[in-house]
Structure 1
Amino acid sequence: YRTELDRQFKNEKSNFKIAIVVDMWLTGFDVPSLDTMYIDKPLQEHTLIQTISRVNRVYPGKEKGLIVDYFGFKSHMNLALKKFNRADSEVFEGIDEAIKIVKDELDILRRVFKNFDDAMFFTGSPVQKLNCLKHASEYVQLTDDLEKRFMASVKRMKSAYDLCSSSENISKLERDKIYFYGAVRSIIFKLTKGDAPDTAQMNDYVRKMIQEAILSEGVEEVFTRSKIVGSRSVDIFSDEYLERINKIPLKNTKIKVLTKLLKDAIEAYKKVNRIKGIQFSEKLQKMIDSYNNRHGDKVYAEEILDNVAEELTKLLKELEADKESFKDLGIDFEEKAFFDILVEIAKQHDFYEDYIKQHGEQKLIELSKEMKKIVDDKSRYTDWAKKEDIKADLKVSIILTMADYGYPPVVQDEVFKEIFLQAENFKKYQ
């Protein structure tokens, strides 16, 4: 029923001409022919900008959009625009100011792309347009600084364009450039965030091209799979799957895909093994920092990109091995989390090797099993993590058990803290 209402309201020939809405259809609902809106409710920030943009779409025979303000939201609009443009000293006072912002940002973006030939996007065949779009997104990722400046500039341009998209003072060429830069930003946004931003201002052809660019590189499948990274039916660690990723021809795109996949996989692992998840996050961050420090020298950049992609692939395989390592120890994955805590703290305080020589690894394995039994016993109570008496009892039990297994008492507070955090973390995601 709701879908049919959507369809009818978008159909110019339909008798459905007036709609009274509360929250639906205010954002992400594109009806180019819509020319009048009456507002009598408080709206702020992104919702306000998106709502008033509903009547700003270009449509044959439509000269302008009309907003009838019964609430008085101009101050809210200025605050929203200040926030979205990240410039506390600037406020759009009207369409003219928005047009100026659009043209200024287009000039900045033209200079950003001064060494990139975007002609094929405007004059080439569909395949050439698509390839141009993909290579443009790769070009923008040449350095971290270039990527950030580009993303910020397009965001600012789009915020202003939302207000003046129906103006005759913006030429067709300028609109085409806006679509082009917006499309490139959408692809990069997809690579880094997993979801493309609102593309309602773009025409259907460009929107489809963005999706095709993402699909053609295998990006969409990666992100779909990463959402179910814990599923047994999806083996993201297989050689076959990694080979498909490695076949992505554009190197920055491949790195972004691997990074996103790793982030999701590490976050999933962190839910069952907190300390190992943190360690893998730190390793990944070092690789990201190395990648972000790349500069524009082509030969140097190629070498860095190859190294980063290789290291990311290795880290993914390392993560896979670590996730399965509990089997070799003869314990379950929960016990392995406590085992990793004991090992890590012992290594940090330089007594791991001495402990293993004196007691053997099996002793540490048995201690991790006991830790799990203690935690399971104490955490069976409702709100156990908030009750001081249960926490105190848990700490005493851990200290006594550590003593029984010859684990040095000097780190008992640290062990309790990590075991408590692990137990709390695991129970939260059970």
Structure 2
Amino acid sequence: MVDEAHRTQGSEMGDNLFEAFPNAARVAFTGTPLITERHGGKQTVKRFGEYIDTYKLMDSVEDGATLQILYEGRTANTALRDKAEFDNSFEDLFADRSVEDLLAIKKKYGATGDILEAENRIRAIARDLVGHYIDNILPNGFKAQVVCHSKLAAVRYQRALREALQERLQAERAKPTTDADLIRRIDFLKVAVVVSSDATNEPAAITAARKEAREWNAVENFCKPFNLDDYGKAYTGIAFLVVCDMLLTGFDAPIEQVMYIDKRLKEHNLLQAIARVNRVTQGKQRGFIVDYIGLANHLTEALKIYASEDLADLQAGLKNLTSELPILEERYRRLLQHFQGLGVHDIEPFLTGTLGGPDEEVRIVHKAVDVLEPIKARADFEVYLKKFLMSLDLILPGAAAHRYRGPARRLGYLMRMTKERFKDESINFAGVGEKVAALINEHLIELGVDPKIPPVELLDPDFVELVTGHAQGSSRAKASEMEHAIRKHCTIHFDEDPAFFKRMSEKLDTLIAKHGDDWKALAEHYEELRSEIRAGRGETIAAHPPEVLVFRDNLLGLIGEEAMLSVEDAVLLDALSARLVGILRESILIVDFWRKPDQVRRLRATIDTELMVSGIGSVQDQHQRIAVELTKLAEKRHAELLRS
């Protein structure tokens, strides 16, 4: 039984193994079987027989085991695909040099390998690479592998990447308005080289780089998330692993999202290498391959060596970055259709900023939020918007994303206003990507909405003032937000005093039934109801202290308010409530009372006994259920019981 059969079957040891056991059953596992004619007798099917089972790339993507990979070619002029193209590619690379300069450079760099080790070229690529990484990958907290031509190129890339990081750091610090968080993150980044040792003497720089990687525990720390707050985890800042041959197969690092390639790779070696970026982890939507050497032709050839059905599967799993644009446009159109289907026909002019003026924009905002009151409409909007934003995050900050930036900002504002209006805490931007989240948050701040501050709550001192501001003159918007704030407050606090909050919810429903669409009247009455909720049960009543009243009302609710108590039973109920509150206060004085199951069971048994001897028939009939519910109520009101 042989694993990684594409690279373990062809060695001398493999030949010896097959000769030693000529009649053995041979079972092999490989993700990239050797199938071209040039492999001759070492083709996988000739060594092991026909396929027993196949699990293809898109099977894995559809199962959620791996991610789709997006390809981007960055430097076509440096594509040195073979020796015959060397001169033309060389002259493209140094197009700004004179004929004399070209001759001198050719004399110094006489082979394509020398070009791939040229320091000026590496520095230019490093600057572009760092810019791409910081703008596209770093915001979401992922890391990168840099694949280069040789060990010498690897150490030169390390030096060039460090210089490029310092240049970007200085540029960020020099901006009129600095981003302190970005500066801190860039300053934390590190570059490590992971290469094998040579049997012969090697340049000191390569030895030093390998020693540094060993001291940093580079591979293990690369696999860990960035930890900027723990001084002892400074090496989690390793954002770039520079390699030439190592870690291109069999290396699983889900935190790696992008591979920058400046090395000629072919066939199964190329497919194995790019699969390093398709591992699944939270927040990672795609893997990226950024090509600095011109692998497009080799990639096509690598795909073509497979049968037509496998070719289609591989092409589906490995897409050009531009393939995301139609998906982005389709998801944008789906959002427009959602609102148009709900009657907001001017949604596109609003999103593109082509409406008549500010008053018209305010009207559309209120109309769009109004139609999202049904939970399904709201849930669909959130799903459609998140998918759109996730696609946009893949394209940002590229030029192709520019036309969607404005709509994304305004849709983000609508989402925030929807969350504010309906007090829906389930609405959030989780999983959409840090680049697009930053775009929306910047827009919200410009509009005076701090995305870090949660929606205003019912009992906040400035609730009415803030809600009036959100409404921007719309009585319906004001009444709607107040209604949902009251409902949310009653739901959240219901267990603390079920009888009281049930009564408040019933009053709310009565007001809605009475005033219908008279939004101004509703808003006025909602303010009165808010004041009543804020006051709670008020001060002590002579016959019923506050906590006794809470437990009396909830006892009455548990036995059924429709139950007609006699005068005698009402007196017994008052006395029972007072006794229960006294028992509760004394019992819960024990430290960490509710974390002690034996004590809680003892309290519930004591309550149950009091209910059974209460002399009230409707209480005695349900004593066990009532004892359980009163114990739960006591836990919710622990602080109030001790304070009163």
TM over 0.5: yes
Q: Does 1:38 align with 2:240?
A: yes
Secondary structure at 2:590's aligned position in 1?
A: coil
Asked if structure 2 preserves the Cα contact closer than 8 Å seen for 1:136 and 1:184, the reply is: no
Which residue pairs with 1:299 in the alignment? none
| Aligned residue pairs, count | 360
Are 1:417 and 2:628 an aligned pair? yes
Gaps of 5+ in 1: 1-6, 27-35, 54-68, 83-90, 292-301
How far residue 147 of structure 1 moved from its aligned partner, in angstroms, is 3.3
Tell me the distance in 1 between the aligned counterparts of 2:524 and 2:434.
Answer: 37
Residue by residue over 1:52-106, the C-alpha shift from the partner in whole angstroms, topping out at 9 and shown as x without a partner, is 69xxxxxxxxxxxxxxx99945231599549xxxxxxxx9855344323211111
Task: Find the aligned partners of 2:546 and 2:496 in 1 and give their Cα distance.
Answer: 8
Q: CA deviation at 1:196?
A: 6.5
Amino acid at match of 2:556: V
Counterpart-to-counterpart distance in 1, 2:317 and 2:478: 39
The 8 Å contact of residues 137 and 187 in structure 1, kept in 2 or not, is answered as no
Which position in structure 1 is the counterpart of 2:372? 141
What is aligned with 2:279?
75
Cα displacement (A) at 1:112? 3.3
2:473 is matched with which residue: 249, 254, 262? 249
Asked whether the equivalents of residues 102 and 161 of structure 1 are also in contact (C-alpha less than 8 Å), the reply is yes
Q: State the match for 1:173 in structure 2.
A: 403
Q: Which structure has the larger Rg? A: 2
Task: Report the secondary structure of 1:422's partner residue.
Answer: helix
Aligned to 1:100: 326
Q: Distance in 2 between matches of 1:282 and 1:384?
A: 32
What whole-Å deviation, never above 9, does each CA across 1:360-412 have from its counterpart, x for those lacking one?
4x543332121011112222334544656544543453344345542221121
TM-score (norm 1): 0.61
C-alpha deviations, 1:296-331, integer Å up to 9, x for none?
xxxxxx83978986886675455346x225634644
Counterpart among 265, 278, 288 of residue 489 in structure 2: 265
Q: Of residues 363, 377, 381 in structure 1, which corresponds to 2:586?
A: 377
SS at match of 2:565: helix
Distance 2:517 2:335 in 1: 27
Matched, 1:162 2:403: no
Following TM superposition, by how much is the alpha carbon of 1:210 offset from its aligned partner in structure 2, in angstroms? Answer: 3.2
Conserved? CA contact 2:389–2:436, under 8 Å: no
CA distance in 1, matches of 2:382, 2:572: 54
Q: Which amino acid aligns with 1:340?
A: D
Counterpart in 2 of 1:354? 565
Which of 184, 188, 199 lines up with 1:19 in the alignment? 188
Q: Which of these residues, 541, 546, 553, is aligned with residue 333 of structure 1?
A: 546
Deviates more, 1:397-406 or 1:155-164: 397-406
State the one-letter code of the partner of 1:110.
Answer: L
- 8 A Cα contact 1:342 1:415, kept in partner: yes
Q: Assess if the C-alpha contact under 8 Å between 2:349 and 2:355 holds in 1.
A: yes
Deviations 1:14-43 (A, max 9, x none): 8986423854689xxxxxxxxx95389998
Name the Cα RMSD after superposition.
5.3
Unaligned runs of 5+ in 2: 1-167, 176-182, 191-224, 230-237, 242-246, 259-272, 287-315
How far has the Cα of 1:243 moved from its partner?
Answer: 9.2
- Return the letter of the residue paired with 1:164: I
Partner-residue secondary structure (3-state), 1:343: helix
2:126 matched residue in structure 1: none
| Alpha-carbon displacement from aligned partner over 1:175-217 (angstroms, at most 9, x marks no partner) | 333333233223323443468648964699975653465769x
Aligned to 2:615, the other structure's residue is in SS state coil
Given that 1:274 and 1:425 are in contact with CA atoms closer than 8 Å, whether structure 2 keeps it comes out as no
1 CA distance for matches of 2:441 and 2:188?
27
Secondary structure of the equivalent of 1:166?
A: coil
Aligned CA distance change for structure 1 residues 381 and 18 (closer, same or farther; 3 Å): closer
